[in-house]
Structure 1
Amino acid sequence: MGSVEKPWQYNFPPFFTIQPNIDTRKKQLEAWCRLVLDIQKQKKSHSLDVNEAQSSIFSNKEINRKLPLDGIYMVLDELCKKGHLEWKDPKTRKECLIMWRTPEEWGKLIYKYISDRSMTNTVCTLFELSNGDDTEGEEFHQLDDWLLIRALKTLEVDGKAELMGTDGVKFF
């Protein structure tokens, strides 16, 4: 899991058992959610396989503990409630899309970039936004197309952008 800072509870065995006390469980789920988002962000990955995560993110070999599958689903359901997760197939719940930033948050970040560079009232291609030389170093550089489009749709709802077909966007 690289250099992601794990919560202090990660080396505390009860962290790997869903806690019965509601207040404690709420804090536990928050810590798990933050850890999942931080790891996905570090990996720049928007896809999560539940079986793989069970033996990586939700496992601590140092203390020989794993979060049980029902606990993993509690964490993932919490991420879903907060708008950070969507199931690829809600029936099987085996793989999901993880958004360490919600589409709205990505949209605000992109719009700030456009505004800061006085690029309102201009047209950009989606490729230019996500892979162009000018966006290198920006957090949304190399953002997956599906998430970029969702982010731009949030700007469209706010009247700040208009998608033009499948490969362009005009900013207002």
Structure 2
Amino acid sequence: MLTVQVTSATFLPILVSPSDRAYSERNVLDEYFDDLAVAYSVGPPYGERLITWADLERIDLSRRDLRRRAANNLDSMLDTVRIHGQPPALMLSFQGLESSLVLADPFWDSLEGSVPGELVIGVPARDVVIMTGSASQAGIAKARRAVDRVFFAGGPHLLVQELLVRRRGDWEVY
């Protein structure tokens, strides 16, 4: 196992599935909802190395400060998000860590009203987010197909097979 000494870095929150074998009790994981947790990546580049409890102790950083620094860093990177495709369903692009956007409330707040109905997303893997509106049956069908294809193909860092809907500022299963 590669050991990296973390002394000074920036952090990014990343959605993970606690059942993913890439993570263990050594990693700092915060429950999010259902079978999702928030892990913290050190970077850049982000996504290659997750913060462990030993890292926090070594750099004398509290869990609360880690959360705050990661959230602030995510917010500062939101101007790099790109939206691709045509309605009824759109793909998000965010440096291969698209699922981190689920945690970016200011981003989703800015998109309220931009799709027909409530915001609905598919987040089948760490690097895939597809967005549509709850009032678009074609968009919902396209998002479901995209999620199913990702799960059928398998691969690393699978997350959620269900679609999620944003209600009152929170995500829940659609």
Report the TM-score, using the length of structure 1 for normalisation: 0.35
Largest Rg, 1 or 2: 1
Q: Which has the higher helix share?
A: 1
Report the TM-score, using the length of structure 2 for normalisation: 0.35
